Amino acid sequence: MKNFWATLLVLVTAAGLSFGAFYVLNDAPAVRQAAHDGDAMAWLRAEFHLDDAHFDRIRRLHDDYAVVCTRHCRAIMLARQRHAPPEEIAALERVCVEAMTDHFRRVAALMPAGQGDRYLAIVLPRVADYDHRGTPNIQGQP
57 neighbors 66 (Cβ within 8 angstroms): no
Distance CA 42, CA 65 (A): 17
pLDDT in tens, 87-132: 999 999 999 999 999 999 999 999 998 899 999 999 898 887 777 7
Calculated CA dihedral for residues 120, 123, 127, 128, nearest 10 degrees: 70
Short-list 137, 100, 91, 140, CA closest to 120: 100
Report the predicted TM-score, pTM, of the whole model to 2 decimal places. Answer: 0.69
Q: What whole-number distance in Å separates Cα of residue 123 and Cα of residue 141?
A: 9
33 — pLDDT class (breaks 50, 70, 90): low
Q: Is residue 127 a contact partner of residue 111, using CB atoms and an 8 Å limit?
A: no
* Number of C-beta neighbours around residue 100 at 10 A: 21
57 pLDDT higher than 80:
yes
Residues 6 or more apart whose Cβ sits within 8 Å of residue 136: 69, 100, 130, 142
Residue of 119, 68, 78, 54 whose CA lies nearest to 98:
68
CA distance 22 to 106: 33
Quote the pLDDT of residue 7.
59
Please state the rounded mean pLDDT for residues 63-91. 94
The torsion angles phi and psi of 69, rounded to 5 degrees, stand at -60, -45
What spatial distance separates the first Cα and last Cα of the chain, rounded to whole Å? 56
